[in-house]
Amino acid sequence: MKTAAGELNPPVRLLCGTGPTNPDPRVLRAMAAPVLGQFDPAFTAIMNDVVDLGRIVFRTGNPRTFSISGTGRAAMEAALVSLIEPGDRVLVGNCGRFGDLLVDIATRYGAQVDQVTAEWGQVIHPGAIEAALARQPAKIVAMVHGETSTGIWQPLEEIGRICRERDALLVVDAVVTLGGVPVEVDAWDIDLAFAGTQKCLGCPSGMGPITYNDRAERALAARRRPVTSNYFDLTQLQRYWGPERLNHHTLPTSMTYALREALRLVVEEGLEARFLRHRRAGDALKAGLTAMGLELFGDPAHRLPQITAVKIPNGVEDEAARLRLLEEFGIEIATSFGPLRGRVWRIGLMGYNAELPAVLAVLNGLEHVLRSSGVGVPRGMGVEAARASYLTNFRT
């Protein structure tokens, strides 16, 4: 019988929004590998590879390094629901939409939430965290490492030290940063970090890598009541991923293959080389946008390489311009939320896309779209400036 739904044939896009990014073709090939049962020794060996590779990428010796089956937000839920008991105090450093999300989730699980806030586009000052903990101790301090909503890169080293001194657990959202800029779990005294797969790891969305240390594990073991969520209960999941192989949910086989291949690609490239590649691409994009006369958004000292926030020129209609870029050039970039909606675009160069061709394609497409919206963008200058930046920057 003929179905109304035709054969699946989605268009090929250049995904330069805030995720998903275009997965590495090798990751997509890994997903086509045969499905295995979750307790098949051939599959548990693959799970062990995810653990070992995850430790290298998170830069940690934590034995409890594995993946939540779900997107980055699922890993965030797992972290918070497992650590929080109703009434616990949680301090959130909040300067964007993902800070808001930490507040929302912690509140839903019954925490008493305090916040240290900064304006969108700025970072949180470690001194403000220290002062807040001096006023009111907290069990958990939750921070966003890369605030995707604003393109801002939060320094964490000092906050880790402060949390140790004040006996708080530091929980870090590294969803947009893992695989793109250093995430030093052990060196920065991060007690728990989680990530996602569709950003700088260059994978489709669907897994949430997570790691936590003995301090976090002791907090889990000291719970008075079981974790409110069964699916996201880290005390069970760590036994599923460990040698005990406690029966829990059916691990998404193909996504596990994808994550393994993505992590393997990061380790094969080398972390430093990969970070440099993201910096080089991000710098080139920023140079190109500036040469086109556009203004970048946010604190210049703390801009993420992999997410560039740029102000939308006056007179340009956000949605219509992005639709033209998508339909005529096949390129996706992202709008913004909250106070930045309609004012700022966010352009991502993550994982597989952190390369010169993607930079030039975005700048070329934007130039044409802006010119046809009546903005006086000089012809070819964005592309030229980006090429010049890319070819000289970090050359060895």
Ligand X SMILES: *Cc1c(COP(=O)(O)O)cnc(C)c1O
Q: Closer CB to ligand X, residue 176 or residue 227?
A: 176
Q: Is residue 72 involved in binding ligand X (CB under 6 A)? A: yes
Question: Is 148 near ligand X (CB under 6 A)?
Answer: yes
23 contributes a contact to ligand X by CB under 6 A? no
Number of residues that bind ligand X (CB under 6 A): 13
Window 161-200: contact mask with ligand X (x via CB under 6 A): ------------x-xx-------------------x----
69 touching ligand X, by CB under 6 A: no
For the chain, report the end-to-end CA distance as a whole number of angstroms: 61
Please give the structure tokens belonging to residue 133: 């903990």
Near ligand X in 74-93, by CB under 6 A? none
Q: Is 71 or 389 the residue whose CB approaches ligand X more closely?
A: 71
Residue number of the CB closest to ligand X reads: 72
* CA distance linking residue 274 with residue 196, whole number of Å: 17
Q: Do residues 209 and 54 touch, judged by C-beta distance below 8 A? A: yes
> Up-side HSE of residue 244: CA atoms within 13 Å toward CB?
9
94 vs 389, beta carbon nearer ligand X = 94
73 is a site residue for ligand X (CB under 6 A): yes
By CB under 6 A, name the one of 21, 60, 62, 71 that touches ligand X: 71
- Dist. CA 58–CA 122, nearest whole Å: 25
Contact 89, 137 (CB under 8 A): yes
Looking at the Cβ atoms of 204 and 365, the one nearer to ligand X is 204
For residues 226 and 220, what is the distance between their CA atoms, to the nearest angstrom?
9
| Rounded CA separation 362/349 (Å) | 10
CA dihedral 95, 97, 103, 107 (to 10 degrees): 160
Provide, rounded to whole angstroms, the least separation between the CB of residue 377 and ligand X. 29
Distances 182 to 47, 145, 175, 226, 395 between C-alpha atoms, Å:
24, 10, 12, 34, 20
Burial of 313 (0-12, 13-18, 19+ CB in 10 A): middle
The residue among 352 and 390 lying less far from ligand X, judged by its C-beta, is: 352
Give, as ranges, the residues between 351 and 370 that touch ligand X (CB under 6 A): none
Residue 209 or 288 having the CB closest to ligand X: 209
Range 211-270, binding ligand X (CB under 6 A): none
- Residue 270: other Cβ atoms inside 10 A: 11
d(CA 102, CA 336): 18
Segment interacting with ligand X, rule: CB under 6 A, options 65-73, 249-257, 326-334, 352-360:
65-73
Nearest distance from residue 322's CB to ligand X, in Å? 18
Q: Which is nearer to ligand X, 100 or 283 (CB)?
A: 100
Using the rule CB under 6 A, is 308 a contact of ligand X?
A: no
- Decide: is 322 part of the binding site for ligand X (CB under 6 A): no
List 17, 19, 23, 305, residue binding ligand X (CB under 6 A)? 19
Is the Cβ of residue 15 or residue 360 nearer to ligand X in the bound state?
Answer: 15
Neighbour-count burial for 104-119, b at 16+ CB within 10 Å, e otherwise: ebbeebebbbbbbbbe
CB-count burial class (<10 Å; 0-12, 13-18, 19+) for 311 = middle
Q: How far is the CB of 22 from ligand X (least distance, A)?
A: 16
Interface residue list for ligand X (CB under 6 A): 19, 71-73, 98, 144, 146, 148, 173, 175-176, 196, 205
